[in-house]
């Protein structure tokens, strides 16, 4: 049996489940009403459907709708998952552009601040001016990556942190230098002198 996605709904062998569900419900309703009207001769009319048959028809209908609804749900992406995916794309773009090793760049958000951490990089030993130059390149990449995306419209600051982190404490570290870029009224992130 082949499964796929067709027009936003799960499909089985090219026929969307929602269509299958609709056909099954129509057939079930026709059987239900036909049974109520059938009689043999006029001597032995069949009984009208009992309450159990009504419950069975409703249960089948509900089960088919539930199956159609739950099979489509996993394909949908949550906003936080989409945002995490975009942060991963930003990290990959920064790594590629500046030639950084994978574990030396981390991208996170905190409120309206998007933080790019350069962890244990060779820039920690550089001058403040050297870190500013690299941070400008990083901020340019980040600004292009988040530009026009509604999930990042509240970001008002891009901060590049240069930090030293010991292997024994993978979540904390000492910030050597920070470089900030703040969004101006024109929507452009400008270098902020401290």
CATH at residue 102: 3.30.70
Q: What domain range includes position 91? A: 79-192
Q: Are residues 65 and 88 in the same domain?
A: no
Over range 122-143, report the average pLDDT.
96
What percentage of the chain has pLDDT greater than the value 90?
46
* Alpha-carbon span 29 to 80, nearest angstrom: 42
Same domain assignment for residues 43 and 121: no
Looking at the fold, whether 21 and 102 belong to one and the same domain comes out as no
Residue 31 shares a structural domain with residue 84: no
Average pLDDT over residues 144-154: 91
Question: Do 37 and 103 fall into the same domain?
Answer: no
**CA distances in angstroms from 105 to 140, 162, 175, 185, listed in the order given:** 15, 10, 14, 29
Same domain, 96 and 131: yes
Sign of the CA dihedral with 45 first, then 58, 55, and 73 last? positive
pLDDT of the residue at 24: 52
In this prediction, residue 39 carries a pLDDT of: 46
Question: Is 149's pLDDT higher than 70?
Answer: yes
Say yes or no: 86 and 65 in one domain.
Answer: no
Domain boundary (48, 75, 102) is at 75
Helices 17-37 and 51-72, packing angle to 10 deg = 170
- Clarify whether residues 99 and 119 are in a common domain: yes
Instruction: Identify whether residues 71 and 130 lie together within a single domain.
Output: no
Q: Are residues 136 and 84 in the same domain?
A: yes
Report the relative pairing of strands 15-16 and 39-40 from DSSP bridges: unpaired
The domain boundary, picked from 13, 41, 75, lies at: 75
Q: Based on the domain organization, do 96 and 179 belong to the same domain?
A: yes
Name which of 15-19, 56-60, 80-84, 154-158 the model is least confident about: 15-19
The edge-to-edge listing of strands for the beta sheet with 3-6 is: 3-6, 9-12, 15-16
What is the pLDDT averaged over residues 10-21?
48
Residue 86 has pLDDT above 60, yes or no: yes
Strand segments (E) across the chain:
3-6, 9-12, 15-16, 39-40, 44-45, 105-110, 113-119, 157-164, 174-183, 189-192
Q: What is the pLDDT of residue 30?
A: 56
Cβ 106 vs Cβ 117: under 8 Å: yes
Decide: 177 and 128 in contact? Cβ < 8 Å. yes
**Count of structural domains, the chain:** 2
Largest CA distance in the chain: 103
* pLDDT at site 99: 93
Of 28, 58, 75, which residue sits at a domain end?
75
pLDDT in tens, 92-112: 999 999 999 888 999 999 999
Instruction: Tell whether 107 and 165 lie within a shared domain.
Output: yes
pTM: 0.58
Q: What pLDDT digit, counting tens, does each position of 32-84 carry? A: 555 445 544 445 455 555 666 667 667 767 766 666 655 544 444 455 666 67
pLDDT-based confidence at 146, cuts 50/70/90? Answer: very high
């Amino acid at each position: 049996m082949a499964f796929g996605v067709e027009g936003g709904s799960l499909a089985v062998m090219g026929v969307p489940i929602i269509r299958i569900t609709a056909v099954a419900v129509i057939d079930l309703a026709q059987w239900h009403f036909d049974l109520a009207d059938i009689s043999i001769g006029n001597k032995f009319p069949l009984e009208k459907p009992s309450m159990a048959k009504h419950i069975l028809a409703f249960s089948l209908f509900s089960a088919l709708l539930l199956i159609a609804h739950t099979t489509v749900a996993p394909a949908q992406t949550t906003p936080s998952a989409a945002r995490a995916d975009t942060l991963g794309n930003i990290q990959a773009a920064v790594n590629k552009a500046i030639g950084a090793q994978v574990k030396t760049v981390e991208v996170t958000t905190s409120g309206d601040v998007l933080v790019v951490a350069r962890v244990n990089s060779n820039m920690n030993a550089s001058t403040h001016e050297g870190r500013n130059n690299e941070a400008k390149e990083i901020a340019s990449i980040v600004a292009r990556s988040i530009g026009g995306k509604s999930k990042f419209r509240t970001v008002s600051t891009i901060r590049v942190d240069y930090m030293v982190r010991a292997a024994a404490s993978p979540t904390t570290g000492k910030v050597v230098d920070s470089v900030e870029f703040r969004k101006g009224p024109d929507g452009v992130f400008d270098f902020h002198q401290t």
